């Protein structure tokens, strides 16, 4: 007899396991690997190697979730090859083409048994059309928060990590009202809007435009072949070849509400931090041995960034 694994069952599982896992001494920390796109897949493959190491190593159960891709088979073929090249033995494809597939018990069970899940690029709106409000999306949160499954995503998969997702927009050289269109993302990052291909596509104006709409959040711009690794509740690390630009406008003044559509925006008091690859930044005043001491303003922003979103129903 087959029993359908409903969201109610998932909620019961999470409610039972969360206290146990939170008290377990050997529980691995939950991590997100958020990639700005165009990660190296030909030479040292630094970012994907790090993701694999955080997903149980070469024998970890890794799923490649291709729902953002227009051609999911082609996207999977590319990642299948590169993961084989870095030694992964249990990498498999999780294609999702519809809400029905996202609600399928087999999809949910595969997500709940994974050690790492990597969301490919494509279109973040397409990804959310297929995942929003589904059992698969809920299972992703349980896998991350209960089982400490490593969640990675590149390009569209990176943008969708946030609760408030940068869905689309122009790339003005300076911030303009309505230059960025926001939507609902997967919600792993509760307190930031994420943009990708950041320096290469000159998206500072776009991210500032998004931040003007939501000054209660941080803006995170991630360069290509660069990843922001968020360790839940602890801090961040930047890996790869570029930098992460962190914008904090929580104390700024802006004319966003009074500005007309497409009007240039005034944004006073925005804090900007550039975090180069190769550095750790902790959220507490006593950093780890390999983490740099940071100004209080950055430490506060990192702590805000490292707060995970709630398990979404």
Count the neighbouring beta carbons within 10 Å of the beta carbon of residue 29.
11
Q: Which of 69, 155, 209, 243 is catalytic?
A: 155
Q: Which of 197, 237, 243, 280 is catalytic?
A: 197
Known catalytic membership, residue 224? yes
Q: Which of 141, 224, 237, 273 is catalytic?
A: 224
Known catalytic membership, residue 155? yes
Known catalytic membership, residue 141? no
- Distance between CA atoms of 57 and 71, rounded to whole angstroms? 28
Q: What residues have CB less than 8 Å from 107, skipping those under 6 apart?
A: 94, 96, 101, 135, 136, 139
- Asked whether the beta carbons of 238 and 278 are under 8 A apart, the reply is yes
- Asked whether the beta carbons of 141 and 135 are under 8 A apart, the reply is no
* Phi, psi (deg, nearest 5) at residue 299: -60, -40
* Phi, psi (deg, nearest 5) at residue 279: -120, 145
- Distance between CA atoms of 181 and 165, rounded to whole angstroms? 9
Indicate which residues carry an active-site annotation. Answer: 155, 197, 224
């Amino acid at each position: 007899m087959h029993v359908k694994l409903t969201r109610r069952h998932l909620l019961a599982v999470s409610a039972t396991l969360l206290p146990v896992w939170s008290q377990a001494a050997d529980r691995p920390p939950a991590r997100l690997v958020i990639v700005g796109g165009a990660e190296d897949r030909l030479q040292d493959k630094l970012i994907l190697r790090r993701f694999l190491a955080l997903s149980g190593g070469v024998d970890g159960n890794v799923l490649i979730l291709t729902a953002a891709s227009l051609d999911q088979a082609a996207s999977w073929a590319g990642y299948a090859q590169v993961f084989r090249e870095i030694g992964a033995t249990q990498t498999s494809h999780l294609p999702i083409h519809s809400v029905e597939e996202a609600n399928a018990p087999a999809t949910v069970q595969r997500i709940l048994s994974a050690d790492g899940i990597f969301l490919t690029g494509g279109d973040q709106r397409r990804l959310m059309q297929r995942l929003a409000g589904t059992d698969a999306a809920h299972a992703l949160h349980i896998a991350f928060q209960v089982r400490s499954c490593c969640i990675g995503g590149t390009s569209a998969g990176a943008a969708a990590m946030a609760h408030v997702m940068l869905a689309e927009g122009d790339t003005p050289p300076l911030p303009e009202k309505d230059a960025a269109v926001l939507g609902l993302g997967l919600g792993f990052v509760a307190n930031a809007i994420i943009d990708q291909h950041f320096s290469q596509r000159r998206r500072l104006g776009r991210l500032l435009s998004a931040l003007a709409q939501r000054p209660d959040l941080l803006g995170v711009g991630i360069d290509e072949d660069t990843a922001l690794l968020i360790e839940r509740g602890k801090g961040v690390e930047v890996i790869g070849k570029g930098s992460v630009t962190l914008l904090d406008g929580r104390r700024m003044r802006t004319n966003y509400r009074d500005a007309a559509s497409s009007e240039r925006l005034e944004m006073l008091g925005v804090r900007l931090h550039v975090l180069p690859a190769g550095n750790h930044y902790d959220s507490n005043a006593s950093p780890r041995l390999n983490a740099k001491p940071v100004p209080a303003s950055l430490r506060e922003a990192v702590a805000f960034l490292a707060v995970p979103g709630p398990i979404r129903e």
